[in-house]
Structure 1
């Protein structure tokens, strides 16, 4: 199976690197600067689950003429989706399958409109990773999992084939027969975490230490769940247990979106919070017509407006 990994950043580089190390046929679609760095230093992963250096990862640049790939692994930032599509679209053939690992749901709409629903799978990943000053991938914890499945549910021969490939590498690969629900669960959790930690400018532990901090998280979680339920996706007891353990236990956990704000970087506010609000309908009307989720989103859009004005 010929695999194209779009980008070689923290997420794509990690999972693509693990696949390449396992002997799979992996090519990274990268920009010229990243290609030069990989040629010079190799693809370097520092991880508690095993360090890895690929001395000569296979790379191509956008516009290079080559045969279509069997699987496209897409893990760009949501605000870079259009540029990413332009770069890999010529490499998509009749039998190519696209597996996106982005958060939220807007990318599914964009990809299915561009390539057709038959070529797009649902997917998500759980990993905390970043690039250090040397552009090496640093895995920040021990979680490294990919979950994927058919958008229509159930299973298929191509899902089984992809599972066999992904399962050969040193990360957890799981097939879901209801991947859309899994994606909505992650979206609800991530939106709650991002909205609360960005709005309050602190970790989960910091928020819970505040007089009404727990109520803030509870209300945001309820608002985000209401959107999902309004769209027919009901979170079950397993989600409740995970959310309770993570969101209501004091810890230094923050959303990566807060780190983006603190680093004066671009955020995925439109894709994680804004798109959720746009899908909410009546579920988003608070007591006075303005929910906490909308306030958190406005908070982030104010940050973006200030960045645009002062940069």
Structure 2
């Protein structure tokens, strides 16, 4: 299958690099400035052991001339609309589109743009970031992808995608309830994001102070209540894993949202927390801690917008 990865950042760059290393036909759709960096330095993965570098196949907006078989969408939510405009020529009548964004709002956007029959659900687990040199830094040895048809049914194209993506240096699973899996990841990332953004520290920093170990589970209870109200209760095992993670003494874990906050970058507050708390209100679920974290991050976003307007 011909694969187009939209974006070559922390997520798309990691999985695309692994696929290219495994001999898959992978092309990255990137902005011209990112293309220049990748052509000069290569797509580089660092952080754990020796650096890994490939010379990626690249296209920029306007250079796509034929449809691809598989389009992996890995951009940040705020970049989704222009990225879809750039990628539109890559989506033909038989193209499968698999997004790896946080939250659920992007599914409405993709379904409206390409039709629900073209769009699968997707969840990835990876701990990566992009450094000042624009290399991908792997923070932990985790790399997993779960995909599935939105209606949960098996399909011939899903089997073909599994053969294409499998055995490429990361774990791959097929899910008969991919929408539920996406909701459950949303619960996890909103819990970790709200916790570490609100208190401006790692999990270990937070649980080291009196009462800090109680905040993560309290935020988790709110997020899980929203998911349950939406029809996707989080399994007890997954709740136990997240509880252990957000109460682990000495843990250096933090969310990408809190790292963006600390660096003074825009965050995905609306896609991760704003949308979740808005849905909570429609379900009649109280989320005071998630509301507080959302308010805190919106203040940050407003400061950034004000500073940009003054430049």
Q: Please tell me the TM-score bracket, short chain as reference.
A: over 0.9
Shift, 1:285, TM fit = 5.0
TM-score (norm 2): 0.94
Aligned twin of 1:305: 302
Corresponding residue SS for 1:15: helix
- Matched with 2:177 is 178
Other structure's SS at 1:10 match: coil
Q: For residues 279-310 of structure 1, what are the alpha-carbon distances to aligned partners after superposition, in whole Å with 9 as ceiling and x for unaligned?
A: 11365654xxx711111101110111122223
1:285 and 1:291 in contact (8 A); partners too: no
Q: What's the counterpart of residue 158 of structure 1?
A: 157
Aligned length: 307
Identify unmatched segments of 5+ residues in structure 1: none
Give, in whole Å, the separation in 2 of the partners of 1:65 and 1:184: 33
**2:279 matched to 1:279?**
yes
Contact 1:223 1:283 (8 Å CA) reproduced:
no
Return closer, same or farther for 1:281/1:51 CA change in 2, 3 Å cut-off: same
Any idea what SS the aligned residue of 2:11 has?
helix
Task: Report SS of the residue matched to 1:267.
Answer: coil
Root-mean-square deviation (CA, aligned residues, Å) is 1.7
1: CA distance, partners of 2:115 / 2:178: 18
Instruction: State which drifts further: 206-215 or 195-204.
Output: 206-215
Structure 2 vs 1, CA of residues 264 and 241 (structure 1 numbering), >3 Å: closer, same or farther? same
Unaligned runs of 5+ in 2: none
CA drift at 1:27: 0.9
Matched, 1:34 2:31: no
Contact 1:147 1:176 in 2 (8 A): yes
Say if 1:223 and 1:284, in contact at 8 Å, map to a contact too.
no
Deviation of residue 65 (structure 1)?
4.2
TM-score (norm 1): 0.94
Matched-pair contact (CA < 8 Å) for 1:220–1:293:
yes
Show the 5 A alignment for 1:97-108.
97-108=96-107
Matched ranges for 1:193-204 at <5 A: 193-204=192-203
**Deviation by residue 1:48-72 (Cα, 9 ceiling, x = unmatched):** 48742213x2111111241100000
Out of 286, 292, 297, the position equivalent to 1:295 is: 292
Distance in 1 between residues matched to 2:180 and 2:273, nearest whole Å? 18
Distance 1:171 1:271, change over 3 A: same
* 1:91-170 matches, cutoff 5 A: 91-170=90-169
